[in-house]
Amino acid sequence: MVEHQSDSHVPEMATPSHILMRETTDPVVFHEAVWGRVFNRRRDTSRVPRAVVRASCVAHVRDAVELANRLLCRVSVRSGGHSWAAWSVRHDAVLVDLADLGYMDYDRRRKIASCSPSVTGEVLNKALEGEGRMFAGGHCPDVGLGGFLLQGGMGWNCKNWGWACESIIGIDVVTADARELYCSSTENSDLFWAARGAGPGFPAIVTSFHLLTRPLLQMYNSVFIYPQSMFRTVLQWVIDTCPTADSDTEMVCVAKRTADGDDIDIIAGFLSFKPSKEEAETAMRHVRDSRPAGAKVEVFCEPTDFACQYAGQRDEQPTGYRFCSENAYIGNDVDDVPDVLEKAFTTLPTQKSFALYFAMNPTSRRPLPAMAHSMQSDHYFAVYTIWDDAADDARCTGWVHGIMRDVERYSAGSYMGDADFQHRTTRFWSKKNGERLRDVRRKWDPAGRICGYLDADDRSGVQGLRNEFEWVASTDE
């Protein structure tokens, strides 16, 4: 165990190999430990942790918390490293990296998968395949389940199957005072409530999730690609089709630049989870029959699988690039959603950038279970701006922030997973849930030992995010 000898380092005893101290580790090695697993190459390297703890067991997580308590600094957590704003890298904090905590198990009788936060949806689904089961984790293969589930989890077919965090039946955690606890709806239930939607403000460190799985079905892809000039028509078709669409089919509308970069394609995509192709074709018949004329490309119920889907997502969000992402739930009272989103979908600033609309009805229309996650609407919108030259940082981030200034007044709030708290104040929970989450955070982490939300100047502390629109004092339902 590391013993504290001063407020800045631990010199007297040999530091365990899983703990890298800033002052005593080779700078190149330390920098790699800090940034090597961060997906986004656009980085604020002025943030330098006090130490990095490479945890391969729960005892190492306790070590990280105990070290932070002795040094009177904060502790941050990294599951997959896919946060756009690199929430895990915090100045003068102890960073606990869970990459080596690669635990997975499956209970056949209860259909429960247990795994550590750094496990990705891709890895978990590969392990579950032989059991005839699946978990509706994140679409992107690089996303660790830890951050994904804590933020609510907009996973496969979320519009019909609900939020991925609803499938959490229990969690194992290390608290801010280094205790190990199990949390469920009946044990430490307030922490369990917070784990399903608190995001990076969860006031403990999850070491294992226990997840209810689903039957593994066949997958069939239907895609209709239109020219940019048909954006309004295509998006309105997707919106109008959504409420009565098949309950095993997710629906998206995406804008991407053409291969030559001179134009933008508007892509309506439908991914059906069905036992057979015949059932998929039956489910998709209305979509095909109602599609607007003028498609450049049409694919109907083409067989696919998770391997193909993850490969496609990996191409869409390639490693080694600079990213800026933002999002909004467009309010259900907005009459003309295509009008609100047209600029975002038709002025993409780089070749690899894309804009996304996720149809969320009927999940968005049902009462949610008891959990912190409480923000949703029929219309989810996000932009993913991707480039490779640091000289384009100002232009690309400026485009994103300009788009959000135009869109945010039509929004009900935002999804934490595609947000950057440093640049925009908005609503992530209902007013009631936001206030309860603040109280749970104060109870379990009164000193603010867990870093929480990376807002402007990293000042959120125990108070957490403001959870209100920045342009107007707004009341909740």
Going by the DSSP 8-state scheme, the letter that residue 196 receives in this structure is T
The alpha-helical segments, DSSP class H, found in 72-204 are 121-129, 145-150, 158-161, 189-195
Parallel, antiparallel, or unpaired: how do β-strands 112-115 and 19-21 relate? unpaired
Domain 19-97 fold is 3.30.43
pLDDT at 471 over 90: no
Report how far residue 113's alpha carbon sits from residue 357's, in angstroms, rounded to the nearest whole number.
30
Q: List alpha helices for 275-350, DSSP H.
A: 277-290, 306-316, 337-346
Provide, rounded to the nearest whole percent, the portion of the chain with pLDDT above 70. Answer: 96
Q: Choose among 62, 177, 158: nearest CA to 149.
A: 158
- Identify the pLDDT of residue 261: 84
**Cβ neighbour number for residue 85 with a 10 Å cutoff:** 22
Q: Do domains 104-215 and 218-418 have the same CATH topology?
A: no
State both tokens at 242. 């959504």
pLDDT for 451: 96
- Does residue 473 surpass a pLDDT of 70? no
Which residues neighbour 414 within 8 Å (Cβ) at sequence distance 6 or greater? 326, 327, 328, 329, 375, 424, 426, 427, 428
Task: Report whether pLDDT(4) > 70.
Answer: no
| CA-based nearest residue to 387, from 323, 327, 325, 312 | 323
CATH topology assigned to domain 104-215: 3.30.465
Query: What pLDDT is attached to residue 13?
Result: 55
Q: Cβ-count burial of 169 within 10 angstroms (0-12 exposed, 13-18 middle, 19+ buried)?
A: middle
Beta bridge partners of 221: 271, 302
On whether the CB atoms of residues 353 and 385 are closer than 8 A, the answer is yes
CA distance 393 to 414: 23
Least confident range from 2-6, 120-124, 143-147: namely 2-6
CATH number for 218-418 (one of 3.40.462.20, 2.40.50.180, 3.60.20.10, 3.40.50.720): it is: 3.40.462.20
pTM comes to 0.94
Residue 3 has pLDDT above 80, yes or no: no
Model confidence at 1: pLDDT above 50: no
**Span 36-56, mean pLDDT?**
97
CA distance linking residue 79 with residue 202, whole number of Å = 13
pLDDT above 90: percentage of residues in the chain: 93
Task: State the chain's mean pLDDT as an integer.
Answer: 94
Work out the pLDDT band at 10, boundaries 50, 70, 90.
Answer: very low
- 347 is written with which tokens? 């002025």
What's the length of the chain? 477
Asked if the model's pLDDT at residue 2 lies above 50, the reply is: no
**Residue 279 φ/ψ, nearest 5 degrees:** -70, -35
Q: Distance between CA atoms of 42 and 386, rounded to whole angstroms?
A: 10
Residue 287 pLDDT more than 60?
Answer: yes
Q: Indicate if the pLDDT at residue 235 is higher than 50.
A: yes
Average pLDDT over residues 333-349: 98
Task: Give the residue from 326, 218, 321 showing the smallest Cα distance to 272.
Answer: 218
SS3 282: helix
Alpha-carbon gap, residue 419 to 397, rounded angstroms: 13
Q: What is the rounded average pLDDT of the residues 376-394?
A: 98
344 burial class (0-12, 13-18, 19+ CB within 10 angstroms)?
A: buried
Predicted pLDDT at 472: 67
Judged by DSSP in three states, 269 sits in: strand
Tell me how many degrees the CA angle 462-464-467 measures, rounded to the nearest 5. 155
- Cα–Cα distance for residue pair 474/470, rounded to 1 Å: 9
Residue 8 has pLDDT above 90, yes or no: no
pLDDT of 72 above 50: yes
Q: Is the pLDDT of residue 349 over 50?
A: yes
What is the DSSP secondary structure assignment for residue 241, as one 8-state letter? H
Provide the residue ranges of all domains of the chain, joining segments of one domain with +.
19-97, 104-215, 218-418
Question: Could you tell me the CA-to-CA distances from 81 to 84, 115, 143, 311 in Å, in that order?
Answer: 9, 17, 8, 19
Q: What pLDDT does residue 192 have? A: 98
Average pLDDT of span 34-45: 97
What is the per-residue pLDDT across 156-214, written as a single tens digit (0 to 9) for each?
A: 999 999 999 999 999 999 999 999 999 999 999 999 999 999 999 999 999 999 999 99
What does the alpha-carbon distance between residue 158 and residue 251 come to, in Å, rounded to a whole number? 10
Q: Check whether the bond before 362 is cis (ω within 30° of 0).
A: yes
At residue 351, does pLDDT exceed 80? yes
Amino acid at 181: L
CA dihedral 116→119→121→126, nearest 10 degrees, is -110
- Reported as a single tens digit per residue, the pLDDT across 77-111 is 999 999 999 999 999 999 999 999 989 999 999 99
Tokens representing 48 are 């330098």
In contact, 29 and 90? CB cutoff 8 Å: no
